[in-house]
């Protein structure tokens, strides 16, 4: 359909004709995401014309059609100048029930959301979709959203979340997520001026039907209960993403600590739930893990300080159900072939590492699952299908962030003692971490742990003198290649080796190294120069 013809007709058409004209355009372009650059000016004019129509008093069906057109056009960031204005954002915000004074001012007590007619609801949804596209694609529009205080309208909408239709709630939360992700300055406004963290917590409570039985304790989800419906799960994930932004790099006070503990309790509840598909369950749990990483580590005690009921995992008197769920989640992420470990695995590794570092019961429970007393002394630590084998393999992963996260996790489980770590991994696998931490000569990390000691199995005690410290296992005896050689043959092979090393050294393929007094490596000639002169009595006159 010719854009020039559409623009000409829009100038003289009545409301009904405008509706039919734009409907045809929408049908033809509903799946268009790559636009002809030659028509940029025409599409920009169409944006302006549609906004002009929306500024009039037109029927809901016409509003919806105009907004659909604007949503299609907003996929092209180059034509958004007419929309990224105070007038454009105010029109869209008003239709989304976010910017009009009469709506924002008394929306908390308004019953309009509950009785919204279908046509008006569809207008709200389309307006929210447009705003999501415009905010995502236009930095100028983001600034206008700040200027017109769109955050205020969003938080006012959060207060009526119990009346939301699914799509209204979904795109309200998505818009909040986008605005808080793209504009860091908005996060502080949402937190301090509008109590956004508490409001999002209440949204999650409502969607997940959280029932409190204590200050930080909820009723235990019934394992036989129906899974969380797909629509509810969608809104939960958008709320978690928005809350992640609001709690990012945020150091709260005592009052905030109370709110953080409430969030931890809600996330514990969520981690024990399942959705309609395993994939969506894992996605929701991934967002929960990301958010838990933002909370003060002291709040993680909420995860285990709940009564233990029949069939639940118990350790040291604590409920370990959610810790086991996190371990299962971690192993699923490790098992995903071809997945992005940095994004998918490191957050849960970091969470379990910090939880283990600061909470003795969590560390002891995880160590019992991941690093049980060693018996398999004849098998290399990285060989096998156990969770320990998989984590040890990750210690030599090509991605530096992944290898450090896996190594740090195991190091903390070993109470940051080098000798304890080497027992489970061997020096070869642990070398990267030890050099990074400056512990290649032994020792331990800075964290203070309890004095409880690990008990070795009899198999390990007997085999310990024969374990290769580099590979971490007892190697089969190798035949001695020099056993049947004559002295002349041995001398010949030794001289041959010396000649080869000398050749490689002169060609700078290898370089002889020595150890300085401070333990660092340096070229051999430098270490010889640094060595103190020692003259024995037999060498003196």
pLDDT per residue over 351-407, tens digit each? 999 999 999 999 999 999 999 988 888 889 999 999 999 999 999 999 999 999 999
Question: Mean pLDDT of all residues in the chain?
Answer: 88
Residue 335 — very low, low, confident or very high, per pLDDT cuts 50/70/90? very high
What are the backbone dihedrals phi and psi of residue 54, each rounded to the nearest 5 degrees, phi first? -65, -25
Q: Residue 25: name the closest of 41, 56, 51, 4 by CA.
A: 4
What span, in angstroms and rounded, lies between the C-alpha atoms of 109 and 87?
A: 27
What span, in angstroms and rounded, lies between the C-alpha atoms of 233 and 499?
A: 69
| Whether 400 contacts 391, CB under 8 Å | no
Stretch 181-190: mean pLDDT:
93
The CB-side HSE value for 375 (13 A sphere, CA atoms) comes to: 1
% of the chain surpassing 90 pLDDT: 60
**Alpha helix segments (H runs only) across 297-399:** 321-335, 341-344, 346-358, 360-370, 387-394
Q: Residue 66: name the closest of 7, 119, 26 by CA.
A: 26
Residue-wise pLDDT tens digits, 488-532: 998 998 999 999 988 988 888 888 888 777 767 788 777 777 655
Residue-wise pLDDT tens digits, 49-97: 999 999 988 888 999 999 999 999 999 999 999 999 999 999 999 999 9
Q: Which helix (H) or strand (E) holds 427?
A: helix 427-436
Residue with tokens 């205020």: 152
Stretch 159-169: mean pLDDT:
92
pLDDT at 539 over 60: no
What secondary structure does DSSP assign to 266-302, as a single string? HHHHHHT--BSSHHHHHHHHHHHHHHHHHS-GGGGGG
What are the backbone dihedrals phi and psi of residue 99, each rounded to the nearest 5 degrees, phi first? -120, -15
Residue with tokens 């905010």: 135
| Whether 179 contacts 154, CB under 8 Å | yes
Query: Quick one: pLDDT at residue 198?
Result: 95
Lowest mean pLDDT among 149-153, 249-253, 324-328, 461-465: 249-253
| Whether 70 contacts 131, CB under 8 Å | no
What span, in angstroms and rounded, lies between the C-alpha atoms of 270 and 281?
A: 10
Query: Quick one: pLDDT at residue 116?
Result: 46
How far is residue 152 from each of residues 6, 49, 248, 305, 385, measured CA to CA in Å? 37, 28, 20, 36, 52
Query: Quick one: pLDDT at residue 247?
Result: 94
Q: Residue 453: name the closest of 411, 410, 414, 409 by CA.
A: 414
Residue-wise pLDDT tens digits, 267-314: 999 999 999 999 999 999 999 999 999 999 999 999 999 888 777 778
pTM, two decimals, is 0.84
Query: Quick one: pLDDT at residue 528?
Result: 72
């Amino acid at each position: 359909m010719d854009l020039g013809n559409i623009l000409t007709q829009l100038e003289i058409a009545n409301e009904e004709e405008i509706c039919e004209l734009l409907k045809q355009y929408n049908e033809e372009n509903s799946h268009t995401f790559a636009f002809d650059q030659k028509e940029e000016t025409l599409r920009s004019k169409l944006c302006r014309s549609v906004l002009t129509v929306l500024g009039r008093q037109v029927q809901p069906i016409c509003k919806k059609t105009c907004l659909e057109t604007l949503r299609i056009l907003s996929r092209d960031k180059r034509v958004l100048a007419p929309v990224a204005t105070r007038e454009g954002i105010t029109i869209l915000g008003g239709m989304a029930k976010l910017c009009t004074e009469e709506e924002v001012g008394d929306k908390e007590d308004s019953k309009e959301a509950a009785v919204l007619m279908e046509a008006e609801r569809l207008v709200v949804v389309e307006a929210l979709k447009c705003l999501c596209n415009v905010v995502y694609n236009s930095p100028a529009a983001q600034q206008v959203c700040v200027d017109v205080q769109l955050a205020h309208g969003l938080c006012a909408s959060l207060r009526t979340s119990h009346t939301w239709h699914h799509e209204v709630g979904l795109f309200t939360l998505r818009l909040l997520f986008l605005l808080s992700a793209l504009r860091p300055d908005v996060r502080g406004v949402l937190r301090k001026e509008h109590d956004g963290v508490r409001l999002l917590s209440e949204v999650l409570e409502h969607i997940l039907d959280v029932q409190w039985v204590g200050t930080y304790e909820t009723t235990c989800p019934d394992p036989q209960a129906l899974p969380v419906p797909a629509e509810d799960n969608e809104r939960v994930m958008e709320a978690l993403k928005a809350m992640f932004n609001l709690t990012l790099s945020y150091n709260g006070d005592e009052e905030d600590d109370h709110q953080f503990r409430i969030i931890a309790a809600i996330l514990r509840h969520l981690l024990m739930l399942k959705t309609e598909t395993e994939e969506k369950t894992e996605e929701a749990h991934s967002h929960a893990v990301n958010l838990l990483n933002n909370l003060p580590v002291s709040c993680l005690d909420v995860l285990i300080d709940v009564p233990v009921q029949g069939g639940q995992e118990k350790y040291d008197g604590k409920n370990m159900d959610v810790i086991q769920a996190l371990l299962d989640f971690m192993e699923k992420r490790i098992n995903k072939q071809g997945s992005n470990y940095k994004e998918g695995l490191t957050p849960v590794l970091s969470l379990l590492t910090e939880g283990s570092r600061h909470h003795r019961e969590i560390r002891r429970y995880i160590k019992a699952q991941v690093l049980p007393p060693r018996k398999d002394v004849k098998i290399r630590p990285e060989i096998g299908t156990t969770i320990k084998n998989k984590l040890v393999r990750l210690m030599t992963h090509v991605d530096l962030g992944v290898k450090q996260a896996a190594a740090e996790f195991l190091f903390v489980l070993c109470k940051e003692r080098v000798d304890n770590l080497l027992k489970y991994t061997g020096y070869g696998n642990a070398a990267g971490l030890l050099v990074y931490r400056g512990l290649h000569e032994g020792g331990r990390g800075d964290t203070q742990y309890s004095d409880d000691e690990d008990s070795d199995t009899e198999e390990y005690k007997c085999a310990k003198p024969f374990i290769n410290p580099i590979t971490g296992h007892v190697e089969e005896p190798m035949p001695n290649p020099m056993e049947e050689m004559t002295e002349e043959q041995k001398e010949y092979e030794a001289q041959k080796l010396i000649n080869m090393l000398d050749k490689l050294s002169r060609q700078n393929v290898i370089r002889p190294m020595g150890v300085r007094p401070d333990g660092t490596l340096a070229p051999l000639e430098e270490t010889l120069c640094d060595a103190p002169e020692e003259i024995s009595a037999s060498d003196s006159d």
